């Protein structure tokens, strides 16, 4: 009996050893990613094995993060998209099957609790010969998930009654075999991890102070044997509790701060929502206002188009009636001619032959003198509509209160309205005495405010301010701002010193003028001209100068440059403000940047240069450096609006006023397109006979036109409304004769070149005669073609036949 007990003891001891071996095997065939036994094990090239599903998940995660696909353990590179080609590890798969079978056999054989009780009996009491050994180890029927032990029914009752194991989950072995890895709740897993050593599955009864972690009895003898550890967990816990309290003391205050921050952010979120909705409503209101303005603009344009259409229809109907009446006369005469030419109408032919011949001659004269072409082309009745509104900047802001400063218009020169100027002892320039200021001096600046849609900004005179930008002290005395219609403001002030100065105009702290407004107090005394101060007859680099052969037109640049057209070389020659040669623009020929016959040049407020070519029928635009920019008209131009341009002037709003000498009219271009025209052939006021040149005054409310063959200068508004005529002057024998070129000076005078008398007539803006600059000893002129007054008062004249520029002081 004792022998049987010994054999059974050896058998069970061997079984225990086999159980530990199975546990080691189980660790080897467990996936390092999911922690379960391998499911369809795949061995990758680096010889590591993973579940197929775990490997696929890892590869997919790497792809999403745009990193290289690699082994989760050693980071060896893996080929992309070749999971199906990775071989299955059948050896591990077979080991899993064997392990599961052995576990099932073990579970079905005996209870672990009974087995442990039997093993403990062996170690506490040695077996003596002839002693009976209790071999009652019951078969297992249940599995404890937390303890991972097999239990018989008797041990299960004791297990469930023991308070420490009362919450453990026990299931039937048959169920566990079907699902060998039951899913534990997170709470049970955490409890298990806290109570048992993850390396030895033993109770954590010690605290390692070196590593600051809980360890089991085996850990003290192996990994932590040289460390300092403590078995009185309660005392260690008390120390840690006090330290945690001390360190976490500010936690409540921080939590309160964070709560307040969250509350503030929530309030800010609500405010953002409210402000955002208000901004959206403001944008909607803005668009509604824009729609209203566009509708109003549309109605105005349609009304204008209807009025033009009806006017043209009436005039066309009158022309049609006249032509139809002539048609009836011709038809009647032709019918009578047919009758009298018949053979049996001899007497009738002899009676009416003279009458028929005279009738045909009269009708031919009427036909020759009648224009059968329609007076109006389709392009003449097109109404130029404003460009559609573009919402680019500042949506939701005060779009209708803030002017679009690029659309604003301002006088390039301040206009001297009143002046108590006296000539100096030298007789050619004003005496500049800042200490002696005449309070009758008064200067006017004109500003036109427009919003970003191009509409006039009115009732804003209180927000306009003017400053002098070249003096530290207050230069302006009592500025007064008056408002006229369509957003036009006149700024009046008396200067405190008689010096040239520049101005800046602000609207609500926004600078309106991007270029200087110049107030030229150095007004020229036009009644007194001395000898020529400088003669310019050559140009070009110092080592290769060229003779100035036929200087013709003349214009002043934005920085007081002088640009002259040399008719012989077909080039524009540019001199700087010291009259030193700078460069040439253009050359002879057809095409962009080339000239055949330039008859007009002008410079706009941005410094761009315009040149009219009457042979090429176009206007070319250049940078002052000479770079070609664009062309208006020329070959292939539809209509006759650019068939005969002769000269031009550019307004501050970039409108082009073009003199058409052949058509005896003035044509206006806006945005590089024909806008309207005014004038016709005739001698009555408002009509022209070969107009030659034109000029705008500083405030751009008057347009002066030299009516060459009518021997007069006519004054219009820029819209074409006739104002007055300058031809004779009260108390002066001199009168205008064949006025050719015309120039408006910065200080408000009008210079008119008269071809027949070969002189320059100086007039005030109201037409008052001032002086005539004539050819005399010391300044013999021959064929004057251009005149311009510089900012410093010097007057430059092109003396064409003498091949020179003459600078007068």
Average pLDDT over residues 376-380: 52
- What percentage of the chain has pLDDT greater than the value 90? 16
Q: What is the pLDDT of residue 339?
A: 76
114-123, 350-359, 708-717: lowest mean pLDDT where? 114-123
Average pLDDT over residues 309-321: 78
Assess whether pLDDT exceeds 50 at residue 3: no
Q: What is the pLDDT of residue 656?
A: 92
Residue 659's pLDDT band (cuts 50, 70, 90)? very high
Residue 121's pLDDT band (cuts 50, 70, 90)? low
Residue 555's pLDDT band (cuts 50, 70, 90)? very high
What are the helix (H) ranges across 70-152?
Answer: 90-109, 112-124
- What DSSP assignment string belongs to 684-734? STT-BSSEEEEEE-TTSS-EEEEEGGGTEEEEE-TTS-EEEEESEETTEEE
Q: In Å, what is the CA distance from 644 to each residue of 332, 596, 665? A: 41, 14, 10
| pLDDT, greater one: 176 or 309 | 309
In which element (H, E) is residue 510 found?
strand 510-511
* Ramachandran quadrant class, 96 (left: phi over 0; alpha: psi -120 to 50; beta: rest): alpha
Q: What is the pLDDT of residue 235?
A: 85
In which element (H, E) is residue 277 found?
helix 251-340
Homologous superfamily, domain 405-519:
Immunoglobulins (2.60.40.10)
Max avg pLDDT among 213-217, 293-297, 525-529: 213-217
Beta bridge partners of 761: 752, 772
Residue 706's pLDDT band (cuts 50, 70, 90)? very high
Domain spanning 1-128, CATH class:
alpha beta
Nearest to 561 by CA among 580, 541, 585, 587: 580
**Strands 759-764, 594-595: pairing kind:** unpaired
How far apart (Å, rounded) are the C-alpha atoms in residues 278 and 157? Answer: 73
Query: CB pairs under 8 A, 24+ apart, for 391-398?
Result: 391/290, 393/452, 395/283, 395/286, 396/279, 396/282, 396/283, 396/286
- 599-808 has CATH 3.50.50.60 classification: no
Is 726 in contact with 715 (CB distance < 8 Å)?
Answer: yes
Retrieve residue 638's tokens.
């539809």
The predicted-structure confidence for 742-751, as pLDDT tens digits, reads as follows 999 887 889 9
Is 579 in contact with 807 (CB distance < 8 Å)?
Answer: yes
Residue 346's pLDDT band (cuts 50, 70, 90)? confident
Q: What is the pLDDT of residue 510?
A: 76
| pLDDT, greater one: 527 or 438 | 527
How far apart (Å, rounded) are the C-alpha atoms in residues 262 and 267? Answer: 9
- Share the mean pLDDT of the chain: 77
The predicted-structure confidence for 565-621, as pLDDT tens digits, reads as follows 998 899 999 999 889 999 999 999 988 899 999 999 999 877 899 999 988 889 999
Q: What is the pLDDT of residue 179?
A: 61
Nearest to 145 by CA among 159, 127, 157, 133: 159
Q: In Å, what is the CA distance from 328 to each residue of 41, 332, 342, 731? A: 111, 6, 22, 58
Q: What is the pLDDT of residue 610?
A: 95
Q: In Å, what is the CA distance from 199 to each residue of 33, 99, 204, 252, 775? A: 18, 21, 11, 37, 120
How far apart (Å, rounded) are the C-alpha atoms in residues 187 and 192? Answer: 9
Q: What is the pLDDT of residue 638?
A: 53
Residues, the chain: 809
Residue 81's pLDDT band (cuts 50, 70, 90)? low
Q: What is the pLDDT of residue 190?
A: 45
336-345, 368-377, 544-553, 615-624: lowest mean pLDDT where? 368-377
How far apart (Å, rounded) are the C-alpha atoms in residues 125 and 469? Answer: 115
404-413, 438-447, 478-487: lowest mean pLDDT where? 404-413
Q: Identify the DSSP state of 488.
A: E
| pLDDT, greater one: 522 or 246 | 246
* Interacting residues of 574 by C-beta distance below 8 A, sequence separation 6+: 557, 561, 562, 563, 581, 582, 583, 584, 585, 624, 626
* Ramachandran quadrant class, 617 (left: phi over 0; alpha: psi -120 to 50; beta: rest): left
Retrieve residue 212's tokens.
């600051």
Average pLDDT over residues 231-246: 85
Residue 492's pLDDT band (cuts 50, 70, 90)? confident
Q: In Å, what is the CA distance from 155 to each residue of 114, 173, 338, 803? A: 8, 14, 145, 132
Q: What is the pLDDT of residue 100?
A: 73
Assess whether pLDDT exceeds 90 at residue 731: no
How far apart (Å, rounded) are the C-alpha atoms in residues 807 and 409? Answer: 32
Beta bridge partners of 356: none
* Ramachandran quadrant class, 478 (left: phi over 0; alpha: psi -120 to 50; beta: rest): left
The predicted-structure confidence for 464-474, as pLDDT tens digits, reads as follows 888 887 655 56
How far apart (Å, rounded) are the C-alpha atoms in residues 352 and 335? Answer: 13
Q: What is the pLDDT of residue 223?
A: 79
The predicted-structure confidence for 15-70, as pLDDT tens digits, reads as follows 555 566 666 777 778 887 777 788 888 888 888 888 888 888 877 777 766 667 77
What are the helix (H) ranges across 341-419?
Answer: 346-369
């Amino acid at each position: 009996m004792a022998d049987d007990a010994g054999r059974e003891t050896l058998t069970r001891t061997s079984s225990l050893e086999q159980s530990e071996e199975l546990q080691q095997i189980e660790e080897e065939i467990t996936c390092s990613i999911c922690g379960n036994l391998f499911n369809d094990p795949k061995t990758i090239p680096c010889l590591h094995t993973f579940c197929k599903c775990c490997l696929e998940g890892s590869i997919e995660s790497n792809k999403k993060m745009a990193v290289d696909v690699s082994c989760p353990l050693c980071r060896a590179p893996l080929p992309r998209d070749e999971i199906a080609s990775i071989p299955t590890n059948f050896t591990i798969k077979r080991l899993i099957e064997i392990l599961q079978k052995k576990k099932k056999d073990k579970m079905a054989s005996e209870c672990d609790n009974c087995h442990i009780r039997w093993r403990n009996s062996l170690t506490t009491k040695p077996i003596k010969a002839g002693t009976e050994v209790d071999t009652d180890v019951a078969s297992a029927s249940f599995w404890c998930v937390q303890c991972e032990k097999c239990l018989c029914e008797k041990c299960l009752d004791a297990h469930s009654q023991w308070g420490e194991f009362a919450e453990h989950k026990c299931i039937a072995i048959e169920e566990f075999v079907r699902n060998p890895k039951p899913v534990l709740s997170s709470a049970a897993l955490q409890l298990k991890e806290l109570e048992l050593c993850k390396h030895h599955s033993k109770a954590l009864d010690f605290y390692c102070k070196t590593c600051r972690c809980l360890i089991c009895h085996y850990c003290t003898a192996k990994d932590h044997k040289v460390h300092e550890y403590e078995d009185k967990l309660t005392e260690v816990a008390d120390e840690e509790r006090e330290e945690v309290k001390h360190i976490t003391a500010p936690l409540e205050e921080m939590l309160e701060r964070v709560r307040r921050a969250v509350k503030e952010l929530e309030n800010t979120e609500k405010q953002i929502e409210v402000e955002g909705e208000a901004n959206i409503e403001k944008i909607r209101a803005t668009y509604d206002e824009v729609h209203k303005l566009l509708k109003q603009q549309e109605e105005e344009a349609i009304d204008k188009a209807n009025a033009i259409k009806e006017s043209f229809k009436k005039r066309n109907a009158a022309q049609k009636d006249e032509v139809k009446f002539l048609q009836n006369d011709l038809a009647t005469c032709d019918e009578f001619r047919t009758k009298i030419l018949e053979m049996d109408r001899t007497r009738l032919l002899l009676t009416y032959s003279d009458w028929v011949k005279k009738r045909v001659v009269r009708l031919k004269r009427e036909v020759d003198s009648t224009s059968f072409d329609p007076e109006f082309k389709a392009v003449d009745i097109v109404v130029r509509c404003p460009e559609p509104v573009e919402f680019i900047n500042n949506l939701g802001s005060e779009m209708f209160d803030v002017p679009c400063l690029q659309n604003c218009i301002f006088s390039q020169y301040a206009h001297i309205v009143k002046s108590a100027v006296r000539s100096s002892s030298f007789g050619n320039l004003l005496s500049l005495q800042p200490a002696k200021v005449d309070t009758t001096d008064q200067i006017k600046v004109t500003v036109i405010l427009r919003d970003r849609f191009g509409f006039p900004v009115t009732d804003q005179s209180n927000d306009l301010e003017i400053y002098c930008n070249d003096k530290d002290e207050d230069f302006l005395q009592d500025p007064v701002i008056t408002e006229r219609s369509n957003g036009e403001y006149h700024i009046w002030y008396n200067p405190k010193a008689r010096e040239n100065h520049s101005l800046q105009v602000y609207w609500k702290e926004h600078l309106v003028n991007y270029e200087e407004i110049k107030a030229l107090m150095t007004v020229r005394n036009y009644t007194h001209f001395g000898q020529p101060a400088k003669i310019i007859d050559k140009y070009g680099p110092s080592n290769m100068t060229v003779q100035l052969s036929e200087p013709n037109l003349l214009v002043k640049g934005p920085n007081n440059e002088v640009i002259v057209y040399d008719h012989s070389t077909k080039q524009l020659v540019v001199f700087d403000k010291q009259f030193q040669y700078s460069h040439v623009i253009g050359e002879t020929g057809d095409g962009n940047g080339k000239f055949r016959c330039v008859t007009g040049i002008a410079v706009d407020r941005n410094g761009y240069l315009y040149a009219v070519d009457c042979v090429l029928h176009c206007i070319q635009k250049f940078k002052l450096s000479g770079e070609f920019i664009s062309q208006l008209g020329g070959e292939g131009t539809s209509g006759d609006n650019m068939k005969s341009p002769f000269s031009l002037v550019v307004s501050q709003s970039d409108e082009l006023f073009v003199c058409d000498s052949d058509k005896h009219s003035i044509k206006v271009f806006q945005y590089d397109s024909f806008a309207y025209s005014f004038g016709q052939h005739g001698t009555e006021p408002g009509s022209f006979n070969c107009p030659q040149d034109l000029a705008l005054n500083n405030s751009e409310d008057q347009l002066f036109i030299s009516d060459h063959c009518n021997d007069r200068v006519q004054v219009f508004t820029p819209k074409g409304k006739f104002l007055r005529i300058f031809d004779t002057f009260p108390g002066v024998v001199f009168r205008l004769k064949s006025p050719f070129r015309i120039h408006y000076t910065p200080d408000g005078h009008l210079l008119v070149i008269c071809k027949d008398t070969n002189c320059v007539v100086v007039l005030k803006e109201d037409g008052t005669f001032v002086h005539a600059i004539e050819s005399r000893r010391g300044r013999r002129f021959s064929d004057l073609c251009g005149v311009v007054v510089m900012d410093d008062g010097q007057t430059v004249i092109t003396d064409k036949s003498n091949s020179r520029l003459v600078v007068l002081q």
